[in-house]
């Protein structure tokens, strides 16, 4: 791992690493992000592996120009209005994915939306522009620890796990971006952050909806995801498919409809999970039978997601 000051060489190195599917920590105006190519399933899976997250929550796709959005998401009139006023800056907007959205389904954690942010920090903008495509990035900390606002914080937590940390000094804002759901034209506040709610309401000329927040887990992404599940019933720990079922395998298997990872690699399985569940959630089957997945490493997050998918609804 190296910590590099920001210059033409280190930005070019960051873009090259992203291109080859590796992770790069970079400064933004809010907190440091742990970036990966948002269109590369395996690279995005590495983010969850490095952070040691027991769950898959959706990640923010960072862009370097507003014109990029139309390649992958739909901007409602509210989104356009807010983008004009607050982008670039600490505002994340959750939008509907386009039909052939190239962003990894793992970035969206299987939802049909994607969180989009256009950071104002020059190093972030330069790195994303040099890379040329959206960069998926959560805060660059180990899961359950405080978000990092200096390169040293990132180094303490993730230094041994990533090849490059771009050092842009301390972050100005120091709290994460404000997150709004603008996927329909009645915007909702999902997370308070770097831009004040009042400022946003002034621009919209109306109050933001505030979906109920669980006081025990105010930031729990799980509750945001509770309405996502395949339509078909999901049967876990299956060793074969019953008549009419699709068979989602892991490791060595006969008669798999799809195999999350024929070699039994959990990172590969995580990378495929949401895309494969979507493919199999097809009325031509009567259910989805899933082979057991070990619970070590990324297996914990995979099993968490599968359990929710199998929960009767």
Strand order in the sheet with 258-259: 234-235, 287-290, 245-249, 258-259
Comparing CA positions, the residue from 226, 205, 265 lying closest to residue 49 is 265
Nearer to ligand TXA, 131 or 247 (CB): 131
User: Which range of residues in 30-38, 80-88, 276-284, 303-311 is near ligand TXA by CB under 6 A?
Assistant: 30-38
Give the footprint of ligand TXA on residues 144-203 (CB under 6 A).
176-177, 179, 190
Q: Dihedral of CA 243/244/250/255: which sign? A: positive
Alpha carbon distance, N-terminus to C-terminus of the chain:
46
Give the footprint of ligand TXA on residues 89-108 (CB under 6 A).
90, 92, 94, 108
Count of residues that interact with ligand TXA, criterion CB under 6 A: 27
Q: Which residues pair with 61 in a beta bridge?
A: 116, 136
Q: Is 5 helix (H, G, I), strand (E, B) or coil?
A: strand
User: Which range of residues in 51-59, 199-207, 252-260, 266-274 is near ligand TXA by CB under 6 A?
Assistant: 51-59
Q: Is 30 in the site for ligand TXA (CB under 6 A)?
A: yes
- String marking each residue 230-269 x if it binds ligand TXA according to CB under 6 A: ----------------------------------------
Give residues with Cβ within 8 angstroms of 200, minimum separation 6.
82, 86, 91, 178, 180, 187, 208
Q: Is 139 in the site for Mg ion (CB under 5 A)?
A: yes
Q: Is 219 in the site for ligand TXA (CB under 6 A)?
A: yes
**Cβ atoms of residues 118 and 80 within 8 Å:** no
**Cβ atoms of residues 211 and 188 within 8 Å:** yes
Q: Is 68 helix (H, G, I), strand (E, B) or coil?
A: helix
- Round to whole Å and give the CA distance between 76 and 86: 15
Count of residues that interact with Mg ion, criterion CB under 5 A: 1
Cα→Cα distances 181→13, 95, 98, Å: 34, 7, 16
Q: Is 177 in the site for Mg ion (CB under 5 A)?
A: no
Q: How far is the CB of 289 from Mg ion (least distance, A)?
A: 34
Q: How far is the CB of 61 from ligand TXA (least distance, A)?
A: 8
Residue showing the smallest CB distance to Mg ion in the complex: 139
Give residues with Cβ within 8 angstroms of 75, minimum separation 6.
69, 83, 95, 182
Nearer to Mg ion, 55 or 98 (CB): 55
Comparing CA positions, the residue from 103, 127, 99 lying closest to residue 116 is 103
Q: Is 28 in the site for Mg ion (CB under 5 A)?
A: no
Q: Is 221 in the site for ligand TXA (CB under 6 A)?
A: yes
Q: Is 33 in the site for ligand TXA (CB under 6 A)?
A: yes
114 binds, among Mg ion, ligand TXA, none (CB under 5 to 8 A by kind): ligand TXA
Binding site for Mg ion (CB under 5 A): 139
Please give the residue ranges that form the binding site for ligand TXA (CB under 6 A).
Answer: 28, 30-31, 33, 57-60, 90, 92, 94, 108, 111, 113-115, 117, 137-139, 176-177, 179, 190, 219, 221, 224
């Amino acid at each position: 791992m190296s910590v590099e000051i920001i210059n033409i060489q280190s930005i070019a190195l960051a873009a090259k690493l992203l291109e080859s599917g590796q992770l790069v920590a970079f400064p933004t105006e809010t907190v440091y992000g742990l970036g990966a190519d948002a269109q590369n399933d395996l690279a995005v899976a590495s983010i969850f592996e490095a952070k040691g997250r027991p769950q898959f929550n959706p990640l923010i796709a960072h862009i370097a120009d507003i014109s990029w959005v139309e390649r992958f998401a739909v901007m409602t009139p509210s989104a356009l209005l807010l983008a004009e006023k607050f982008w670039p800056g600490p505002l994340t907007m959750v939008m509907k994915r386009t039909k052939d959205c190239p962003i990894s389904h793992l970035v969206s954690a299987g939802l049909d939306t994607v969180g989009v942010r256009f950071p104002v920090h020059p190093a972030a903008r330069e790195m994303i522009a040099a890379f040329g495509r959206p960069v998926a990035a959560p805060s660059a900390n180990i899961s359950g620890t405080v978000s990092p606002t200096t390169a040293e914080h990132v180094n303490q937590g993730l230094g041994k796990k990533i090849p490059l940390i771009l050092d842009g000094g301390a972050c100005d804002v120091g709290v994460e971006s404000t997150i709004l759901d603008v996927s329909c034209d009645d915007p909702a506040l999902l997370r308070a952050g770097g831009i004040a709610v009042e400022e946003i309401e002034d621009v919209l000329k109306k109050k933001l909806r505030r979906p109920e927040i669980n006081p025990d887990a105010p930031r729990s992404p799980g509750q945001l995801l509770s309405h996502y599940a395949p339509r078909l019933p999901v049967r876990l720990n299956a060793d074969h498919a019953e008549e009419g079922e699709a068979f989602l395998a892991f490791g060595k298997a006969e008669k798999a409809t799809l195999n999350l990872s024929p070699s039994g690699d959990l990172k590969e399985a995580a990378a495929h999970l949401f895309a494969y569940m979507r493919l199999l959630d097809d009325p031509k089957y009567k259910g989805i039978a899933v082979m057991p997945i070990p619970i070590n490493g990324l297996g914990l997050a995979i099993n968490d997601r599968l359990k929710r998918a199998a929960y009767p609804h």
